[in-house]
């Protein structure tokens, strides 16, 4: 099987999640990705972990290792003129450049599409920034939490109508970074596809905030359509749709359609309370959730997670366990599909990583090499590709360019 | 205006609800001809969900939910229980590049539209299925719903207030996540086909796709055998890092007081000193209790109460502005009204879409989260009413005569 993207050469100037994830999606389908990192410090993901035994080490961060497998690693200080020249030389040979430099940093080092396109008009350059390359917030500072909060999704999550004192709650991890990266990969591939016909590259400007505003479920439209503000304090119109505790863990109780509720009632052995008028349909169960919750908590509390999950699914009720990480790694379903992959890394050792988000029938998703150690491929890329001679390499090193 | 990057690409779109329509929306954004195959006998779930336009009755064509995620697409109504409908669907596939669906495993096969069948009609067809559990494995026939995917993928167990129970994401996060990954897969497959002539089938499990964006939790476990603790809005490497209460909105909305918050993330000691000065407490910048990350983490409860004592007496947008001017990452915890009316930046970037819809009129919808310099992307039209383009697609794409269409319509195949 041929790799889908093996003809693409990608340069990544990426920190943390967004640009590295966009480039990873392409690397895992065979694109050649050369990742440029700052000499000395490298990608900030190297300092975020998780780390084995909670001991920070730049080559052992789980986040970094996951995002950067299948990439070549080169250190390059593009803020120095000699470093920028090498970047231009690399970009001249590339199809795509993906970066997530903060716009004021782009200005400072002089990175712009027009400048790179002068030497390579076929180049597709994708800029992933918190708020996009234009507009009054272009230069605003941002971190994962503030971008997530700017996107209209964070405000929806929290303790619910009975706990107005609790603030909105971010979800775990780096969802803003991942969503920006995934949307950027889509837009980048769109530009690459267009280039097959036009022969011309272009600049793609991705706004992290906008990728989140674009996925506000039905909630955003409550303002333009009904002049209703949606927040974490809204009541769920339909019930049950809640996580509940079993004897050995948590399960998500989910009955959206009436037939699902009827099947659940039968699964519970048709208790008399379930036939009360106040629980007669999904809207009434929403209105009277506080009463329903008492009955359900009692019954669910006596069950075990996997047994209730299986029994519900046998009756076409879409319950799901509240999976712990251990549950995911132990899942017979995921094992049978071969989701997790084991990767051996020269410094970090061997462990399991999340695998392919999509299984392709004709083109493989595969791990060809582990994430690079800092500057691992300087010789191979700068020497081998650009013909930088050993004496100049030493000079660049002493100036801190590489 | 130049053509979109995907102009000339046609998608036979059998998707419904959210994940699938979100996938094909990305392709419509880039100029692909996305034709949704729908039926009035079992309408898309989102056509029957709110929000509904003020002062107008609920109806299959007026849902804000549907109208958001189906912008720029066409709608072809086909009732598969009537003779002729299946044949039309197959003829449409023969004229398409991509077939997308997010039905449960096996549904397309049962309809007679499985990949093996479609490959006979169009050998280089690209087909993607975005099901909850994927096409293989012991749970492949399990039923999946958007809200249940968040706990299933592990996100709920990781999300929550300190010492509290597992929480949700507040929306069906796994759906758009699957959709955008599906769009990427389709583009990679289109690129491959353009170079090699080879089509393919792609099997996506929304569950797996959601785990692909959770490495921090999963790898803590695979490296250390440990379940990460729920830490609310905090962060191991930044402090302060949280969501702080500001003044309530000045005006009530629908008779209800609306509270407002600001998100603040301080990434290093210098940013902390800038924040301390901005809140009028410059002495705290070098106070040994807060001067270093380790000190701020050790005194985080006190740190957070100092900041909230300052923020709670001010409007959230003002707090964000003051902190940004001081060089601190901060943003209003934006709600839909803020984004729609108060965020000057989104307005300046011309992000929102205001196109006429035959039933709801002009309502503001969310637009395209990226811009392209050479092949501009633009939402071409509002979401279609059910079957709005049936005649157009049958005549223009499939070459049916008016008489043939009339016969099909009389038989009920176009409902």
One domain, residues B80 and B202? yes
Q: Are residues A314 and A201 in the same domain?
A: no
Taking CB atoms and an 8 Å limit, are B203 and A318 in contact across chains? no
Of A15, A49, A5, A27, the C-alpha closest to A128 is: A15
B109 and B54 in a common domain:
yes
Alpha helices (runs of H) in B62-106, residue ranges in sequence order: 64-69, 85-94
Please tell me whether residues A254 and A180 are part of one structural domain: no
Q: Which residues of B touch A171 (CB under 8 A)?
A: 155, 158-159, 169-170, 173
Domain hosting A183: range is 9-215+337-398
- The reply to whether A120 and A247 lie within a common domain is no
The minimum CA-CA distance between B407 and chain A, rounded to whole Å, is 36
Write down which residue in B276, B306, B334 finishes a domain. B334
What residues in A contact B345, CB-CB < 8 Å?
Answer: 131, 135-137, 209
Contact A50, A61 (CB under 8 A): yes
B231 in any annotated domain: no
Domain shared by B260 and B352, yes or no: no
- Please answer yes or no on whether B333 and A201 come within 8 Å at the CB atom: no
> How do beta strands B98-101 and B10-13 pair?
parallel
Among all residues of chain B, which has the CA nearest to that of A206? B370
Same domain, A138 and A21: yes
CB B385 within 8 A of CB B392: no
Residues B300 and B193 in one domain: no
Domain count for chain B: 2
Sort out which chain B residues have CB atoms less than 8 A from A252's CB and list them.
147-148, 150-152, 156
Domain boundary among B299, B334, B369: B334
The alpha-carbon gap from A9 to the nearest alpha carbon of chain B, in Å, equals 14
Q: Considering B290, B309, B334, which residue would you say is the last residue of a domain?
A: B334
Q: Are B151 and B25 part of one and the same domain?
A: yes
- Which chain A residues are Cβ-neighbours of B182 within 8 angstroms? 358
Q: Are both A201 and A252 inside the same structural domain?
A: no
Residue B97 annotated in active site: no
- Tell me which chain A residue has its CA closest to the CA of residue B171: A217
Measured in angstroms, the CA of A75 and the nearest CA of chain B are apart by 23
* Cα B177 from Cα B173, distance rounded (Å): 6
Question: Which CATH number covers residue A142?
Answer: 3.40.50.10540
Tell me: do B19 and B126 sit in the same domain: yes
Q: How far is A159 from chain B (nearest CA, A)?
A: 8
**In a domain? residue B202:** yes
Q: Per the domain annotation, does A375 fall within a domain?
A: yes
Question: What tens digit of pLDDT does each residue of A293-329 get?
Answer: 999 999 999 999 999 999 999 999 999 999 999 999 9
Judge: A179–B176 Cβ closer than 8 Å, yes or no. Answer: yes
Query: Which residue, among B38, B117, B48, has the nearest Cα to B80 in the 3D structure?
Result: B38
Report CA-CA distances (Å) from B131 to A28, A339, B142: 22, 15, 10
- Note whether A265 and A356 are same-domain residues: no
For residue B326, tell me if it sits in a domain.
yes
C-alpha A172/C-alpha A159 separation (Å) is 15
Kindly provide the ipTM of the predicted complex, given to two decimals: 0.98
Is A225 a domain residue? no
Q: Domain containing B83: what range?
A: 10-213+348-411
Chain A positions touching B202 (Cβ under 8 A) are: 358-361
Is there a contact between A186 and B222 if contact means CB atoms under 8 Å apart? no
Out of A270, A293, A324, a domain closes at A324
Neighbours of B225 (CB within 10 A): 10
Q: Is the pTM of this model over 0.95?
A: yes
Residues B46 and B137 in one domain: yes
CATH number of the domain within which A304 lies: 3.30.1540.10
Q: Is residue B340 part of a domain?
A: no
**Nearest chain B CA: its distance from A378 CA (Å):** 27
- Mind listing the pLDDT tens digit for each residue in A331-386? 999 999 999 999 999 999 999 999 999 999 999 999 999 999 999 999 999 999 99
B contacts of A154 (beta carbons < 8 Å): 170, 243, 263, 333-334
Phi, psi of B187 (to 5 degrees): -65, -40
Chain A residue closest to B178 (CA)?
A357
Separation of alpha carbons B188 and B190, rounded Å: 5
Q: Do B49 and A218 touch (CB under 8 A)?
A: yes
Verify that A343 and A315 share a domain, yes or no.
Answer: no
Q: Which residue of B has its CA nearest to A256?
A: B145
Task: Kindly name the residue from B124, B175, B235, B248 that is annotated as catalytic.
Answer: B175
Could you tell me which chain A residue has the CA closest to the CA of B236?
A48
> Domain check: are A40 and A109 in the same one?
yes
In a domain, B184, yes or no: yes
From first to last of its 415 residues, chain B has per-residue pLDDT tens of: 458 999 999 999 999 999 999 999 999 999 999 999 999 999 999 999 999 998 888 999 999 999 999 999 999 999 999 999 999 999 999 999 999 999 988 899 999 999 999 999 999 999 999 999 999 999 999 999 999 999 999 999 999 999 999 999 999 999 999 999 999 999 999 999 999 999 999 999 999 999 999 999 999 999 999 999 999 999 999 999 999 999 999 998 888 899 999 999 999 999 999 999 999 999 999 999 999 999 999 999 999 999 999 999 999 999 999 999 999 999 999 999 999 999 999 999 999 999 999 999 999 999 999 999 999 999 999 999 999 999 999 999 999 999 999 999 999 999 9
Note whether A76 and A140 are same-domain residues. Answer: yes
């Amino acid at each position: 099987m041929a790799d889908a993207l093996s003809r693409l050469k990608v340069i990544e100037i990426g920190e943390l999640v967004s640009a590295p994830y966009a480039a990873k999606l392409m690397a895992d389908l065979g694109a050649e990705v050369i990742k440029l990192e700052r000499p000395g410090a490298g990608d900030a993901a190297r300092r975020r972990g998780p780390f084995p035994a909670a001991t920070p080490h730049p080559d052992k961060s789980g986040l970094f290792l996951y995002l950067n497998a299948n990439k070549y690693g080169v250190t390059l200080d593009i803020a120095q003129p000699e470093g920028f020249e090498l970047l231009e030389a690399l970009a001249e040979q590339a199809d795509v450049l993906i970066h997530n430099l903060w716009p004021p940093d782009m200005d400072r080092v002089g990175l712009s599409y027009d400048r790179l396109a002068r030497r390579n008009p076929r180049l597709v350059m994708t800029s992933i920034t918190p708020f996009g390359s234009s507009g009054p917030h272009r230069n605003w500072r941002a971190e994962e939490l503030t971008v997530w909060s700017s996107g209209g999704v964070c405000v929806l999550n929290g303790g619910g109508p009975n706990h107005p004192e609790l603030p909105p709650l971010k979800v775990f991890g780096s969802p803003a970074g991942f969503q920006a990266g995934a949307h950027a990969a889509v837009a980048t591939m769109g530009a690459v596809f267009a280039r097959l016909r036009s022969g011309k590259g272009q600049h793609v400007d991705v706004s992290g905030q906008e990728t989140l505003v674009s996925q506000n479920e039905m909630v955003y439209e409550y303002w333009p359509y009904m002049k209703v503000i949606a927040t974490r304090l809204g009541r769920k119109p339909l019930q049950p749709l809640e996580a509940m505790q079993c004897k050995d863990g948590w399960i998500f109780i989910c009955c959206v359609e009436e037939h699902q509720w009827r099947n659940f009632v039968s699964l519970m052995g048709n208790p008399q309370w379930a036939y009360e008028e106040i629980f007669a349909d999904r809207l009434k169960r929403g209105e009277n959730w506080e009463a329903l919750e008492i009955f359900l908590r009692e019954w669910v509390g006596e069950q075990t997670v996997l047994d209730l999950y299986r029994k519900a699914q046998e009756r076409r009720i879409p319950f799901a366990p509240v999976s712990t990480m251990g549950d995911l790694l132990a899942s017979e379903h995921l094992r049978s599909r071969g989701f997790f992959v084991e990767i051996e890394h020269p410094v970090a050792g061997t462990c399991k990583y999340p695998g392919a988000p999509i299984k392709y029938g004709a083109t493989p998703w595969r791990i060809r090499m582990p994430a690079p150690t800092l500057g691992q491929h300087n010789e191979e890329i700068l020497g081998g590709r650009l013909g930088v001679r050993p004496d100049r390499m030493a000079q660049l090193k002493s100036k801190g360019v590489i | 205006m130049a053509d979109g990057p995907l102009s000339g690409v046609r998608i036979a779109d059998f998707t419904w609800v959210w994940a699938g329509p979100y996938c094909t929306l990305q392709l419509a954004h880039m100029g692909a001809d996305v034709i949704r195959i729908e039926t009035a006998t079992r309408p898309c779930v989102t056509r029957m969900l709110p929000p509904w336009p003020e002062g107008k009755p609920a109806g299959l064509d007026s849902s804000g939910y549907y109208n958001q995620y189906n912008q720029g697409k066409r709608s072809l109504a086909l009732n598969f229980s009537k003779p002729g409908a299946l044949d039309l669907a197959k003829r449409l596939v023969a004229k398409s590049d991509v077939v997308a669906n997010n039905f449960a495993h096996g549904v397309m096969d049962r309809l007679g539209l499985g990949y093996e069948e479609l490959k006979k009609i169009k050998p280089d067809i690209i087909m993607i299925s975005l099901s909850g559990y994927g096409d293989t494995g012991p749970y492949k026939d399990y039923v999946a719903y958007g809200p249940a995917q968040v706990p299933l993928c592990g996100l709920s167990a990781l999300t929550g207030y300190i010492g509290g129970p597992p929480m949700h994401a507040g929306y069906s996060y796994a759906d758009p996540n699957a959709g955008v990954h599906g769009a990427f897969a389709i583009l990679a497959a289109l690129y491959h086909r353009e170079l090699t002539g080879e089509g393919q089938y792609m099997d996506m499990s929304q569950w797996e796709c959601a785990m692909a964006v959770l490495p921090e939790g999963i790898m803590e476990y695979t490296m250390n055998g440990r379940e990460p603790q729920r830490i609310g809005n905090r962060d191991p490497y930044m402090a302060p890092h949280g969501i702080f209460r500001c003044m309530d909105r000045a005006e009530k909305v629908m008779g209800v007081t609306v509270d407002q918050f600001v998100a603040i993330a301080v990434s290093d000691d210098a940013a902390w000193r800038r924040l301390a000065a901005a809140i009028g407490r410059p002495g705290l910048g070098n106070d040994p209790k807060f001067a270093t990350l380790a000190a701020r983490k050790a005194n985080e409860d006190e740190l957070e109460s100092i900041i909230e004592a300052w923020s709670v007496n001010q409007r959230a947008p003002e707090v964000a502005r003051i902190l940004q001017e001081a060089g601190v990452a901060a943003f209003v915890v934006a709600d839909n009204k803020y984004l729609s009316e108060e965020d000057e930046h989104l307005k300046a970037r011309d992000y929102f879409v205001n196109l006429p819809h035959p039933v709801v009129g002009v309502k503001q919808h969310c637009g395209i989260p990226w811009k392209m310099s050479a092949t501009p992307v633009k939402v071409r039209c509002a979401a279609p009413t059910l079957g709005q383009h049936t005649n157009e697609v049958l005549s223009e794409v499939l070459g049916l005569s008016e008489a043939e269409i009339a016969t099909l319509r009389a038989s009920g195949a176009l409902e």
